[in-house]
Amino acid sequence: MYFKQIYSTPLGELLLVGTETELVGAWFTDQKYFAPDFSLEKIADVETPALKQARAWLTEYFNGQIPTTKITLAPQVTPFRQRVLQQLQQIPYGTTATYQELAKQLASHPRAVGGAVAHNPLSLFIPCHRVLASDGSLHGYAGGLDRKQALLELEQIL
């Protein structure tokens, strides 16, 4: 059974979806690919332990701290996207990678990696905002390039 809550960030509202123990989704409410495959009207607005942990993590993050709150993430994606998301989780706070670097690590094509990154169901928690174009420029972010820039500035990358 899924539950949901809205968390207000300095960059807009974030919808959190999870079970009692796992976070399965986090999307800015106005982003591309918003909560696909979820019938949000059928999901109760209830704070579960997983959603409470997610809110604590986000509070730490937006206070400029490296979050220490532990969260169990459970994205429901294809095996290829799972591999991409696992690679994204290896990009440390305060650093970036390029789509080309990720593609090389995954023995894949940068466009395939870009598509998987774009459909990341756990925005912020799995740091797709830390991925840049091969020339180091900001490129592609389902939440919008303004948010991507703000997140990188928060992490003092830009």
Name residue, tokens 């940068």. Answer: 110
In whole angstroms, what is the distance from residue 22 CA to residue 131 CA? 25
Distance between CA 118 and CA 143 in Å, rounded? 9
| Dist CA 77 CA 116 (whole Å) | 9
| Cα gap 40→125, rounded to integer Å | 20
Q: One of 128, 131, 151, 154 is an active-site residue; which one?
A: 128
Nearest to 44 by CA among 1, 76, 78: 1
- CA distances from residue 54 to 20, 21, 62, 96, 153 in whole angstroms, order as listed: 12, 11, 12, 23, 21
Residue 139 bears catalytic tag: no
Active-site residue numbers? 128
